[in-house]
Amino acid sequence: MNENIEVIELEEVTFMYKGVSNIGRNEDSPVWFYLAKLTQESFVRLWQRCDSMEQFQMSYQALGGGNCLLESEEAEPVPEESVSKILFTAGILRKRGIPLKSWGVTEDTKSDYWDSLSQLAEEEAL
């Protein structure tokens, strides 16, 4: 974590989902997994208050967004979220007309990109 970057906090954070699950194959050998995703409203509020992808990623994780393995069901999670997942969510929001800040990040939101995915989906459905 870069100590020179200010972590942005939100007064009201809401989650689409947030929880701990046992993803182990056997009940006697649990593998605990934490997973949390901010709602689109919290995502947008946080995005607009940040000045860089690194700041957004650090703030998102500090708010509890992301995923991680846990030692036990009660362990304190230290979630991580990938930049590609963050950009995917931002791309969907932009595609729906939400005017998010840019920060000069390369975005896969060009209409050619989305058109090619639409075409691929139609071809695969045949």
pLDDT digits (tens, 9 = 90+) for 26-79: 777 889 999 999 999 999 999 999 999 999 999 999 999 999 999 999 999 999
Torsion, Cα of 98, 100, 102, 108 (10° steps): -40
| CA 54 to each of CA 32, 43, 59, 108: distance values in angstroms, whole numbers, following the listed order | 27, 15, 8, 18
Count of CA atoms in the C-beta half-sphere (13 A) of 29: 3
What's the chain's average pLDDT?
87
Q: How far apart are CA 37 and CA 11, in angstroms?
A: 17
Q: What is the pLDDT of residue 105?
A: 59
Tokens 């979220």 belong to 81
| Range in 1-5, 23-27, 44-48 the model is least confident about | 1-5
Q: How far apart are CA 28 and CA 37, in angstroms?
A: 28
How much of the chain exceeds pLDDT 70, in percent?
88
